[in-house]
């Protein structure tokens, strides 16, 4: 890949003490601890509480007055679209399908995927996201896959690499009643690049499922993923494509299971949400994108009624911001607004909220970890877990700090993210990413952006609306 990446030490110091913060553990048994310490040993949390005698070789991070949170978990992002951020700000879902799948996707080379993934992953890390699920449906060649993986690993963050389809000249063949099976290159990735599940970067199949494929193709893809021992994640119930009853089709074929993470679920009927819950499956929602683009109304409340606590995803920075703070706010406001409207229509008014700020922070942390089977490793601050955590320093937007959970969900922004640790390594400190050559990052981003826009014949800064072909029309 172009340029030389910044060198990042693979090891954290033997011990780190995060001292005196307001620790929102995300663990029901530990709760919120004021003026607490978090002792980290060997990259894992050793103690949450008071540490009177830290080890002599201990690095100390002073956290007095700061909110200490579990690292945020983005359960669904198409990171390859970072270079063309904002282009879809005024697009519908149909225009997005046309613009991404027919215009920009086929133009990406491996260098573009590397630059986009690097920029997008650092954007996430800078915003306090310590775990990123990269739904990479830009696998136009093995070199594209390697480029995305190289970029994720360079950042030092925790990532689930969702190996997806190509986004090439056969886009409609991949996504409209497809008869094309998932690319077998995923087996090479599993055997050579990500042979196990103990590293910071793990593997999943970013599948299509019966929303986009014939059931025979889906059966092939599910068998391939399960033979490789990896999770599946797929779009299901996004706009009109959800009306094909994809979950019911999976159920009828005996393909449902606890190793599947469904994305969106906005246009799925309640009975299909119950099917997901009954099989132990998980759900990722992207409420900001769903409301903007026309996927359907966020399924938050219906999911909770079915017994599913969803994770949160940014989805695409082509249309929304790249942080989970805004996503949390939209999630909470949309569901509360839905309930308020229903009450008013019934001639009454809500007396209390069922969905709280603590619930939504859980969606962005522990529930997100559960959605990909890593809740034993990350998602809350408890002894024995990896030390994935962030510090929010209260600027004027958080002062006085009366309710740390409400502050994180309703008022915080990426500007408040002062410090980020992943497995005990400091990747952001004093509000700045550590060991990152920002000049190189900007150069890679701008050069790749200019290549892509030039190939597409689109000028940056101008509004452009793709003409939607019949295959992508609602």
- The string of pLDDT tens digits covering residues 72-99 is 999 999 999 999 999 999 999 999 999 9
**Cβ atoms 256, 247 nearer than 8 A:** yes
> What pLDDT, in 10s, does the model give residues 214-243?
999 999 999 999 999 999 999 999 988 778
- For residue range 183-202, list pLDDT tens digits in order: 999 999 999 999 999 999 99
CATH code for the domain of 245: 3.20.20.140
Structure tokens at 439: 């000049």
Would you say residue 9 lies in a domain? no
Asked whether residue 399 is assigned to any structural domain, the reply reads yes
Nearest CA to 166 among 142, 137, 128, 200? 137
Amino acid 390: pLDDT: 98
What is the residue whose two structure tokens read 């082509």? 318
Cα torsion 442, 150, 144, 314: sign: negative
Domain end, chosen from 322, 343, 370, is at 370
> Could you list the residue range(s) of the whole structural domain that residue 59 is in?
15-70+381-433
Give the H/E segment covering residue 429. Answer: strand 425-429
Would you say residue 51 lies in a domain?
Answer: yes
Average confidence (pLDDT) over 415-426 = 98
CA distances from residue 299 to 93, 155, 205, 237, 357 in whole angstroms, order as listed: 17, 33, 23, 10, 17
Q: Is the pLDDT reported for residue 207 higher than 80?
A: yes
Q: Which of 370, 398, 415 is the C-terminal boundary of a domain?
A: 370
Burial class (CB in 10 A: 0-12, 13-18, 19+), 384: exposed
Q: Give the other-Cβ count within 10 Å of 129's Cβ.
A: 28
Evaluated on CA atoms 12, 15, 19, 22, the torsion sign reads positive
Distance set, CA 201 to CA 156, 360, 387 (Å): 9, 26, 16
Antiparallel, parallel or unpaired: β 158-163 and 58-62: unpaired
* Side-chain-side CA neighbours of residue 227 (13 Å): 10
- What are the Cα distances from residue 159, in Å, to 24, 135, 370, 441? 23, 10, 14, 19
User: Are both 394 and 295 inside the same structural domain?
Assistant: no
The answer as to whether 445 is a domain residue is no
What is the tally of structural domains in the chain?
A: 2
Q: Is the same domain home to 153 and 289?
A: yes
What pLDDT does 4 receive? 37
Rg of the chain's alpha carbons, rounded to an integer?
22
Query: From CA 82, how far away is CA 3, in angstroms rounded?
Result: 19
Instruction: Give the percent of the chain with pLDDT over 70.
Output: 97
Has residue 454 been placed in a domain?
Answer: no
Q: Cα(first)–Cα(last) distance of the chain, in Å? A: 39
Give 316-336 as a DSSP string.
-TTTS-S-HHHHHHHHHHHHH
C-alpha angle 88-92-93 in degrees, rounded to nearest 5: 95
Q: Lowest mean pLDDT: which of 6-15, 274-283, 339-348?
A: 6-15
Q: pTM for this one?
A: 0.96
Q: Do residues 285 and 385 both lie within one domain?
A: no
DSSP code per residue over 126-163: HTTEEEEEEEE---SSHHHHHHHHHHHHHHT-EEEEEE
pLDDT tens-digit readout, 35-72: 999 999 999 999 999 998 888 889 999 999 999 999 99
**pLDDT category, 6, cuts 50, 70, 90?**
very low
Answer yes or no: do 60 and 137 share one domain.
Answer: no
Complete DSSP assignment for 282-316: EEEE-HHHHHHHTS-S--HHHHHHHT---EE--B-
Domain boundary among 335, 370, 405: 370
Q: Are both 53 and 143 inside the same structural domain?
A: no
Distance CA 357, CA 435 (A): 34
Q: Is the pLDDT confidence value at 464 over 50?
A: yes
What number of other Cβ atoms are within 10 A of residue 58's Cβ? 17
60 & 103 share domain: no
Check: CB of residue 218 under 8 Å from CB of residue 211.
Answer: no
Instruction: List, in order, residues 6 or more apart from 6 with CB less than 8 Å away.
Output: 154, 435, 436, 437, 440
pLDDT averaged over every residue in the chain: 95
- Domain identity same for 252 and 198: yes
The answer to whether residue 4 sits within a structural domain is: no
What pLDDT band is residue 462 in, cutting at 50, 70 and 90? confident
User: Would the pLDDT of 322 be above 70?
Assistant: yes
Q: Taking the mean position of all CA atoms in its chain, how far away is CA 343?
A: 33
Residue 439 inside a domain? The answer is no
Q: What angle do CA 245, 316, 449 make, to 5 degrees?
A: 135
Is the pLDDT reported for residue 474 higher than 70?
no
10: pLDDT strictly greater than 60: no
Are residue 424 and residue 345 in the same domain, yes or no? no
Mean pLDDT of 169-185: 95
Task: Measure the CA–CA gap between 110 and 116, rounded to whole angstroms.
Answer: 10
CATH of the domain at 32: 2.30.40.10
Q: Are 54 and 17 in contact (CB under 8 A)?
A: yes
Residues 168 and 314 in one domain: yes
Q: What is the pLDDT of residue 419?
A: 98
């Amino acid at each position: 890949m172009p340029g030389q990446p910044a060198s990042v030490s693979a090891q954290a110091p033997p011990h780190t003490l995060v001292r005196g913060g307001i620790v929102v553990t995300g663990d029901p048994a530990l709760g919120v601890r004021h003026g607490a310490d978090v002792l980290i040993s060997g990259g894992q949390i050793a103690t949450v509480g008071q540490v009177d005698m830290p080890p002599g070789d201990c690095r100390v991070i002073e956290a007095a007055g700061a909110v200490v949170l579990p690292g945020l978990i983005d359960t669904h992002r198409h990171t390859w679209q970072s270079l063309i951020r904002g282009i879809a700000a005024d697009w519908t879902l149909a225009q997005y399908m046309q613009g991404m799948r027919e215009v920009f996707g086929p133009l990406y080379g491996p260098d573009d995927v590397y630059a986009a993934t690097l920029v997008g992953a650092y954007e996430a890390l800078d915003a306090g996201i310590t775990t990123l699920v990269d739904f990479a449906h830009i696998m136009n060649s093995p070199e594209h896959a390697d480029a995305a993986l190289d970029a994720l690993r360079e950042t030092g963050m925790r990532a689930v690499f969702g190996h997806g389809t190509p986004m090439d000249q056969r886009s409609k063949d991949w996504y409209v009643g497809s008869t094309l099976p998932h690319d077998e290159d995923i087996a090479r990735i599993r055997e050579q690049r990500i042979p196990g599940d103990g590293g910071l970067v793990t593997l999943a199949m970013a599948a299509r499922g019966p929303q986009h494929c014939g059931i025979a193709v889906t059966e092939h893809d599910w068998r391939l993923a399960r033979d490789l021992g990896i999770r599946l994640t797929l779009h299901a119930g996004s706009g009109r494509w959800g009306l094909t009853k994809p979950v019911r089709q999976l159920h009828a074929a005996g393909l449902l299971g606890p190793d599947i993470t469904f994305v969106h679920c906005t246009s799925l009927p309640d009975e299909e949400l119950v099917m997901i819950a009954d099989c132990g499956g998980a759900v990722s929602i992207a409420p900001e994108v769903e409301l903007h683009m026309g996927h359907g109304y966020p399924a938050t409340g219906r999911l909770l009624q079915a017994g599913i606590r969803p994770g949160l995803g940014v989805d695409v920075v082509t249309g929304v911001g790249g942080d989970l703070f805004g996503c949390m706010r939209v999630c909470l406001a949309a569901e509360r607004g839905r309930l308020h409207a229903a009450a008013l229509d019934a001639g009454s008014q809500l007396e209390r909220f069922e969905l709280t700020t603590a619930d939504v922070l859980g969606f962005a942390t522990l529930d997100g970890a559960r959605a990909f089977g890593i809740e034993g490793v990350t998602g809350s601050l408890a002894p024995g877990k990896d030390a994935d955590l962030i510090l929010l320093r209260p600027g004027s937007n958080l002062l006085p700090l009366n309710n740390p959970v409400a502050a994180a969900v309703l008022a915080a922004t990426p500007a408040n993210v002062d410090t980020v640790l992943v497995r005990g390594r400091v990747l952001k400190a004093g509000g700045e990413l550590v060991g990152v050559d920002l000049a190189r990052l900007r150069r890679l981003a701008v050069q790749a952006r200019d290549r892509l826009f030039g190939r597409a014949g689109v000028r940056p800064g101008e509004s452009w609306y793709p003409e939607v072909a019949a295959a992508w029309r609602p």
